[in-house]
Amino acid sequence: MARRLMQAVQYDGYGGGPAALKQHVEVPVPTPKKNEVLLKVEAISINPVDWKMQKGMLRPLFPRKFPYIPGTDIAGEIVEIGPQVKDVKVGDKVVTKLSHQYGGGFAEFAVAPESITAVRPSEVSAAESATLPVAGLTAHQALTEFAGVKLDGTGQQKNILVTAASGGVGHYAVQLAKLGNTYVTATCGARNIDFVKSLGADEVLDYKTPEGAALKSPSGRKYDAVIHCSTGIPWSTFEPQLSESGKVIDLTPNMSAMATFALKKLTFSKKQLVPLLLAAKKENLEYLVQLVKEGRLKTVIDSSFPLSKAEDAWAKSIDGHATGKIVVEP
Ligand SMILES: NC(=O)c1ccc[n+]([C@@H]2O[C@H](COP(=O)([O-])OP(=O)(O)OC[C@H]3O[C@@H](n4cnc5c(N)ncnc54)[C@H](OP(=O)(O)O)[C@@H]3O)[C@@H](O)[C@H]2O)c1
């Protein structure tokens, strides 16, 4: 049976930035496979990886095929389910993460695997929940799996540094870290110092000052883990600020970071640099949604744009100065 058409935003090849996003493209509404759900999309959030893929920075892995509809973090209502879907039903409001390989978020409808689709309660808006998948899950994974922070507060006390604490991942990392038994130092620009304090950071450094650039804790602490959400900081800056077995969890490792990672591993160094690659899990997404519902995790939306202005949202993310998350609404 022929599927009806929907509006989507797509690009046809690498490069071109916001201007290369094609608006008002008409494509068939996708059909859910046996373990998939079809959503009417209500909100999408942008992550830097979306435009990095367009730039070709993840070539040849993603995207593998053009034209490509970008966007992975979406919230919406289920309008159709595949025959083997069990835990969600038509009419459920959900949040999910699409694969980077197929994308599909910047559209009126999108298909998602049931395995990463979490139901959202009415207290959590579509826009709020759409900000959670990549940014929230990355912060969660960095803290719980890599930094060993127990979010129920039962763990040993740890000193945590969050760089770029005003950004999408950073604003979640500060708040989640404070659910654990941590002392949080954070870096951000001068205009966001009060904002980052309001998220719970114990001390905040302006990254443009000499102390901020040196990542020096004002209270003289050494960090057990750094959730490194900014870029361009060499190992030689981190090293003197780490505790005896401190770790830098690098979200955007470059060649030099990968060399440091290998060297520290090979020499059994106690201080380590570890690259993080998000492995999204449904139970963690459900946990984050629950925290938002309970008011224990605050979502900060920098700006929101209609799908017809997707190129403005794209440009805003490329600019790199968002406070919190950028949202697009069909
Ligand atoms: N490995 C993974 O699986 C994974 C997952 C998620 C994200 N990431 C990566 O993690 C990075 C952060 O992502 P995001 O979504 O949080 O980015 P984002 O929201 O675009 O970050 C923007 C924020 O970073 C701040 N910032 C920029 N440079 C800074 C610096 N040197 N020191 C302190 N703050 C700085 C900006 O503040 P100002 O405006 O004041 O400059 C702005 O508030 C990106 O490179 C992304 O690709 C990786």
Residue whose token pair is 């994974």? 141
CB distance 308 to 24 below 8 Å: yes
Calpha distance 227→194 (Å, rounded):
20
315 exposure class (CB count in 10 Å sphere: 0-12, 13-18, 19+): middle
Calpha distance 222→210 (Å, rounded):
17
Q: Kindly state if the Cβ of 207 falls inside 6 Å of ligand 1.
A: yes
Calpha distance 209→215 (Å, rounded):
10
pLDDT at 61: 86
**Intervals of CATH 3.40.50.720 along the chain:** 135-275
Q: Kindly state if the Cβ of 257 falls inside 6 Å of ligand 1.
A: no
The percent of residues above 70 in pLDDT, for the chain, comes to 99
Q: Residue range 107-121: average pLDDT?
A: 98
**Intervals of CATH 3.90.180.10 along the chain:** 5-131+299-329
- Give the contacts of 56 (CB within 8 A, at least 6 positions apart): 14, 15
Strand order in the sheet with 223-228: 203-206, 182-188, 158-163, 223-228, 242-250, 272-275
> Is residue 330 pLDDT above 90, yes or no?
yes
Calpha distance 104→138 (Å, rounded):
20
Nearest atom within ligand 1 for CA of residue 191: 40
Q: State pLDDT tens for residues 127-145.
A: 999 999 999 999 999 999 9
pLDDT category of residue 64 using cuts at 50, 70 and 90 = confident
Nearest CA to ligand 1 atom 39: 321
CATH number for the region 5-131+299-329 comes to: 3.90.180.10
Q: Kindly state if the Cβ of 96 falls inside 6 Å of ligand 1.
A: no
Q: State pLDDT tens for residues 189-234.
A: 999 999 999 999 999 999 999 999 999 999 999 999 999 999 999 9
Give the phi and the psi of residue 306 in degrees, each rounded to 5.
Answer: -70, 160
Beta-strand pair 73-81/36-46: antiparallel
> Is residue 1 pLDDT above 60, yes or no?
no
pLDDT category of residue 3 using cuts at 50, 70 and 90 = confident
pLDDT at 60: 83
Q: Residue range 305-310: average pLDDT?
A: 96
DSSP symbol at 191? G
Calpha distance 73→95 (Å, rounded):
8
Q: Residue range 24-33: average pLDDT?
A: 96
CATH number for the region 135-275 comes to: 3.40.50.720
Q: Residue range 65-85: average pLDDT?
A: 98
pLDDT category of residue 2 using cuts at 50, 70 and 90 = low
CA 289 / ligand 1 centre spacing (Å): 22
CA 131 / ligand 1 centre spacing (Å): 14
Picking from 15-29, 106-120, 188-202, 260-274, which range would have the lowest pLDDT averaged per residue?
Answer: 260-274
CB distance 42 to 124 below 8 Å: no
CA 153 to chain centre: 23
Q: Kindly state if the Cβ of 168 falls inside 6 Å of ligand 1.
A: yes
Q: State pLDDT tens for residues 250-306.
A: 999 998 999 999 999 888 899 999 999 999 999 999 999 999 999 999 999 999 999
Nearest atom within ligand 1 for CA of residue 321: 39
E strands, 172-241, are 182-188, 203-206, 223-228
Helix axes 133-141, 168-179, angle to 10 degrees: 40
- In order of 210, 236, 240, the CA distances from 214 in angstroms are 6, 10, 9
Six-digit token string for 298 = 């605050």
CA 320 / ligand 1 centre spacing (Å): 7
Query: What's the chain's average pLDDT?
Result: 97
| Cα–Cα nearest to 223, from 238, 234, 233 | 238
